[in-house]
Amino acid sequence: MKYVDEYRDGELARGVARSLAAIAQSDRDYRFMEFCGGHTHAISRYGLEDLLPPNVRMIHGPGCPVCVLPIGRIDAAIALARNPKVTLCTYADLMRVPASGGMSLIKAKAAGADIRMVYSTLDAIRIAEAEPAREVAFFAIGFETTTPPTALAIRLAAQKKLSNFSVFCNHVLTPAAMRAILASEGEGVEIDGFVGPSHVSAVIGVRPYRFVAEQFGKPIVISGFEPLDVMQSIVMLVQQLNERRCEVENQYGRAVTTDGNLKAQAEVADIFELRDSFEWRGLGEVPSSALRLRDAYGAYDAERRFSVETPNAKDNPACECGAILRGAKRPHDCKLFGTVCTPETPMGSCMVSSEGACAAQWTYRRFETQRIAS
């Protein structure tokens, strides 16, 4: 397909790798965090780490929406779905995320809760219209990419005067998470630069990342999702460091503009406001890192409508998802990885989503991991 195939050209990627090896200085390390789970997946799927010089190392970041949702919010969603009046609509990748007590949305569904997988927020609106006797709640998760679709669904519900539609809002913000990671740098994580998100940046543009360069002195390159995009972004980061530059650069110019998508930003700003603080798996409480519905749209807020409470729940103590999401550990550092925890029987969230670091490692590189271990 156009705009995809040409960015997956293996011969070209090997050429980029040779040129990268020529400019990477052998007397230093280059440690880059790819923030976004889409990049984590691409790096594993296309074996990009094998193309990089040994002193250029990728650290997986927390940009996997399913992975960073704390277990208490899944517990809260399951409690909501158990309300006999409620139909809970959710993106499919949340279904198997482990909750407290060995529970998950898919087990709750098997036990009789009305939980339905949807592709789009508009599907949830359609269900609410078709079944006016049901209380349809949408389990909204994700970064700046999934927030505008949730905002549009709420606007649509208001226009259609749908009184049986609400949103359990868990939308989170990329720059706030980057700030939290940079603020805790040194606690097992050292980062020389960021491969910045693709689709998130299509929405928010280039400016929200300025603090990464200006306050924390780290270069950041917004990167497309295809393997050549990621390779070129790594080259641009190495060049910045070699030239002692520290800037926000945009490799993904074909989809990301400086301003981003102003229409989507306006929709989000109209419907959502900042939460003072929100819990992230791995990062803990992060100030101003998530959104909730404004009072004007409070009627569509499932947390208010159903008095949803978020229990203070603990992860499986043996699971290293938290440290992996901070970049402090790698999947094969976890003793559960590939033994009791696999995509079929995930113990932690990073093994569930295809964007999770553990799932990517298991799917594409688990045999290599076994070689390292033996």
Partner 1 sequence: MRIIELLPEQMAKVSLDGVTKAISVALVDDVCVGDYVILHVGFALSKVDAQEAERTLAMIREFAGTSS
The contact set with partner 1 (CB under 8 A) reads 1-3, 6-7, 12, 15-16, 18-19, 21-22, 91, 119-123, 142, 145-146, 148-149, 152, 199, 202-203, 224, 228-229, 231-232, 235, 251-257, 261, 263-264, 267
Tokens representing 197 are: 């998100």
**What 3-state DSSP class applies to 222?**
strand
Q: Residue 356 gets which letter from DSSP?
A: S
Compute the distance between CA of residue 86 and CA of residue 186 in angstroms, rounded to an integer: 45
Nearer to partner 1, 64 or 180 (CB): 64
Smaller CB separation from partner 1, 34 or 75: 34
Least Cβ distance, residue 19 to partner 1 (angstroms): 4
Closest to partner 1 by CB, 262 vs 340, is 262
Min dist. Cβ of residue 262 to partner 1 (A): 9
Least distance CB 3 / partner 1 (angstroms): 6
CB of 2: closest distance to partner 1 in angstroms?
Answer: 7
Q: Which is nearer to partner 1, 193 or 338 (CB)?
A: 193
**Which one-letter amino acid corresponds to residue 251?**
Q
Closer to partner 1 at the Cβ: 16 or 271? 16
Give me the least distance between CB of 12 and partner 1, in Å please.
5
* Chain centroid, CA 96 distance in Å: 16
Among 40, 44, 31, 87, residue whose Cα is nearest residue 67? 40
SS3 breakdown of the chain: % helix, strand, coil, rounded to 5?
45, 20, 35
Reference 65, options 353, 335, 371; nearest CA is 353
CB of 230 to partner 1, least distance (A): 11
Q: With respect to partner 1, which residue has the nearer C-beta, 21 or 313?
A: 21
246 Rama sector, left if φ>0, alpha if ψ -120 to 50, beta otherwise: beta
Give Cα separations from 6 to 24, 167, 196, 237 (angstroms).
Answer: 25, 39, 21, 22
